[in-house]
Chains A and B, each alone.
Chain A
């Protein structure tokens, strides 16, 4: 019921909202997929990754390069980018999952830094700091509203599939490995494989967000592969509430609004971002969605 109302609202939005807001909403959708894919690892697997921008960035670059250098159409470039990025996630998972906790975090960070550095320096391929320009959107979705509907559909499908994943027996096992990995293997679960499969799945959804990202901007820059991008995704998850389905979406909206609105008034976006990190971690460690829920419950029980 609520979901149907939300759907109506979202479908009607471009009819009333101005172009700026429609574009902002598209960006929120794309970022929500990215954050939700991080949430699969962080929220449900207890694996803090600081390298998820790799999947977004590599999928975006692959799609862009296949189009620019080989002249391939989107109908080949998109699946190729998804496949290639997912294979990369398979490999990165093998490396990063040799550790957990801090080690895992460092490894994901290190691997993503390799890609970021390469994108900066391999100027012949990526045009380095200039980024790649002259990209196109599929299906000629060049006006704000039609791209909005495309992004909305893709986001709805992605989030639904991720929710299925989390609600499945496999998802239950994944949450088990987060809470009690030793007990899980004593119950016959292959903890490592569960984590690896989830890692690859999260990488795939990261790649999906990357495709949408490059379609939206028609431009890609190494900054998309940077630590900052990974960290903003992580921030969105934590701000919204990790391990909840709605959390990353709310968090994505918060981060995107901050970025687009506040940065228009405040020049020091990085200082603000830093402060937001510190404030959220110190004062709202469980995230906005559970935090608000808790406050609401307290309020409701009082009246």
Chain B
């Protein structure tokens, strides 16, 4: 959609904290993820409708406003949930490690990988195989033209923004058992999200996936091997991609 959005880290964190509160009422992580995602999606929708809409084409404005909201969200989370990290328990049936061919894998992490692949496939099908997806792609490619043939572009964009925000929120809940909810989670997530997008290419789902896997691997090994230089290692592949493939690995647009 080509909107510069810096709230993603904050929405992720908001999701994680909402997850904490929902889990107190209903001890089911998946329900919490769903509800947290919906709540964050609703917030994202309001943000798009009432503020970002007015700033179409004004990249700098979008950046500053989304950054402003990121600060507000982070600060309010601090007010509501306090400054101490709050762990989110791993669902019981996934607490045992998974043993395959003599190796032990943490079952929850495996479940998260499976889930993210499923979500990715669902998004792919949505974008490539459905009428809705076709309309969204048309809107992104050429807004004027899409409008001219009667596609409700602005409604669609709100919807897409909600979807993105919702996924970030749900992601926060699901990431909870691994990372827990703490102040500064937003700042830790944002660069990761940025790298994934730049690496994979703006506007490409396959790119986002490849990007996130590469980032994940590099980050994990990098942190294990050279903890001080984790960020340098993390950003190296990105710089490489930009130097040799400005459109990202799969992207249609230059970043």
Contact = CB atoms under 8 A, between A and B. Distances in A.
Are any A and B Cβ atoms less than 8 Å apart in their complex?
Answer: yes
A271 B10 CA distance: 13
A124 B228 contact: yes
A121 B230 contact: yes
Contacts, number: 130
Interface stretch (B12-20, B66-74, B204-212): B66-74
A113 interface: yes
B234 to A, nearest CB: 8
Interface stretch (A14-22, A134-142, A195-203, A231-239): A231-239
B61 A285 contact: yes
B133 interface: no
B62 to A, nearest CB: 9
B100 interface: no
A118 B51 contact: no
A174 B166 CA distance: 42
Contacts of B64: 231, 234-235, 238, 277-278, 280-281
Contacts of A281: 55, 61, 64-65, 68
A270 B70 CA distance: 9
Interface in B107-140: none
A121 B242 contact: no
Interface string B86-116: 0000000000000000000000000000000
Interface in B39-71: 51, 54-55, 58-61, 63-65, 67-71
A43 B214 CA distance: 37
Interface string B200-241: 000000000000000000000000000111111011001100
B149 interface: no
Given A105-B4, A271-B71, A275-B72, A48 B194 contact: no
Interface residues of A, number: 46
A123 B69 CA distance: 31
A278 B65 contact: yes
Interface stretch (A59-67, A93-101, A161-169, A294-302): A93-101
B112 to A, nearest CB: 24
A74 B242 CA distance: 38
Contacts of A271: 71-72, 75-76
Given A48-B60, A101-B59, A278 B69 contact: yes
Interface string A94-132: 010011011101110111011111100111110000000
Contact of A227 (B72, B187, B198, B239): B187
A95 B71 CA distance: 28
B92 to A, nearest CB: 34
B148 interface: no
A293 interface: no
Contacts of B229: 118, 121-122
Contacts of A101: 59
Contacts of A103: 198, 246, 254-255
Interface residues of B, number: 45
Interface string B3-27: 0100000000000000000000000
Contacts of B246: 98-99, 103
B2 interface: yes
A271 B232 CA distance: 31
B136 to A, nearest CB: 19
A113 B68 contact: no
Contact of B242 (A98, A113, A116, A238): A98
Contact of A270 (B74, B198, B232, B239): B74
Contacts of A107: 198, 242, 255
B79 interface: yes
Interface in A246-303: 268, 270-271, 273-278, 280-282, 285
B225 to A, nearest CB: 13
B191 A113 contact: yes
Contact of A274 (B55, B72, B197): B72
Nearest to A99: B255
A114 B231 contact: yes
A6 B185 CA distance: 46
B55 A110 contact: no
Contacts of B61: 281, 285
Contact of B228 (A123, A226, A235): A123
Contacts of B242: 95, 98-99, 107
B195 interface: yes
B80 interface: no
B253 to A, nearest CB: 9
11 contacts: A95-B243, A103-B198, A105-B4, A110-B238, A114-B232, A117-B231, A121-B227, A235-B64, A268-B79, A274-B70, A285-B58
Question: Which 8 residue pairs of A and B lie closest in terms of their CB atoms, listed nearest first?
Answer: A277-B68, A117-B231, A274-B71, A274-B72, A122-B228, A270-B75, A103-B255, A274-B68
Given A238-B64, A282-B55, 18 more contacts: A50-B63, A98-B243, A99-B254, A102-B59, A102-B255, A106-B197, A110-B195, A113-B191, A114-B231, A114-B234, A117-B191, A121-B228, A121-B229, A234-B60, A238-B60, A273-B68, A278-B68, A282-B65
